[in-house]
Amino acid sequence: MANFAIQKSATLRDQVVEAVLGILQSGSLLPGQRVTEEGLARQLNVSRTPIREALGQLAQRGALHVRPGGGYAVPLPTLEELHETIAVRLLLEPPALRMAAVEFDPARIATIDQAIGGEDAAAADKSPLRFAQANERFRRAIFGEIANGALRRAIAQFDTHLHFIRSSTLKNLPLRRQIVDRQRAIRDAIAAHDPDLAEGLWKSYLRLTEEALSAALTEFINSPEVSMPRPRRRSVRFTRAG
């Protein structure tokens, strides 16, 4: 059973948002699967009002797709959309790695180390949730710390795109090991203040991401299964504040 850290100062809606994001990261909801207020209210043991507010917020952020007939679904990008997104990330993220290699001090590099350590500790987990959360911390440790605020915000637009990557590819245990190894090499390049190497390694890392996600998406699209399994119920205790 996954545990979500709940801050006492957080509103119920904010807690629901984080809980649903955790469910997306865990892979228990499949791409294209419908997400209902009623189902989440039962799963999270809260009323439908904060669920409705949270789903609207997540849809605005791109973490959920608004269905034409009403309601929400887990986003399912096309292969063309996937390749377009990776192409834009290739324009934005490698320059950010160059900045990190120039700007980062030992404290920031230690934060990257902690995130990679979290991934390493979760690399053999059956569920991808802990690994996905550590992977998100790794990205924040780099892209959330560069000095260029405009670039930080531009890269952050693709955070929700990564939920599909995490849920669809991080169940692959050998891939998790590759990710950890490549991230350590990237960390070493940043620590060595080598922007050329850091940029090159990140481009290679993005190509691995594109290959893995393309394979996962193609397999999913070609799957003969029509019905989707129901997500496992998860008990989450909320602190009602605000």
Candidates 26, 29, 34, 30; CA nearest to 4 is 26
Instruction: Give the integer Cα–Cα distance in Å for 80 and 45.
Output: 38
pLDDT class for 203, splitting at 50, 70, 90? very high
Q: Show me where the domains of the chain are located.
A: 12-73, 79-221
Summarised one tens digit per residue, pLDDT across range 132-161 is 889 989 999 999 999 999 999 999 888 766
140 CB burial (10 A radius; 0-12, 13-18, 19+): middle
Summarised one tens digit per residue, pLDDT across range 60-104 is 887 888 988 888 988 888 889 889 999 999 999 999 999 999 999
Instruction: Give the integer Cα–Cα distance in Å for 241 and 202.
Output: 41
Backbone torsions φ then ψ of 17, nearest 5 degrees: -55, -50
Residue 35, classed as helix, strand or coil, is strand
107 CB burial (10 A radius; 0-12, 13-18, 19+): exposed
Report pTM: 0.75
User: What separation in angstroms does the CA of 98 have from each of 135, 137, 231?
Assistant: 20, 19, 41
- Determine the CATH number of domain 79-221: 1.20.120.530
Q: Give the CATH fold of the 12-73 domain.
A: Arc Repressor Mutant, subunit A (1.10.10)
User: What separation in angstroms does the CA of 224 have from each of 28, 32, 182?
Assistant: 19, 14, 34
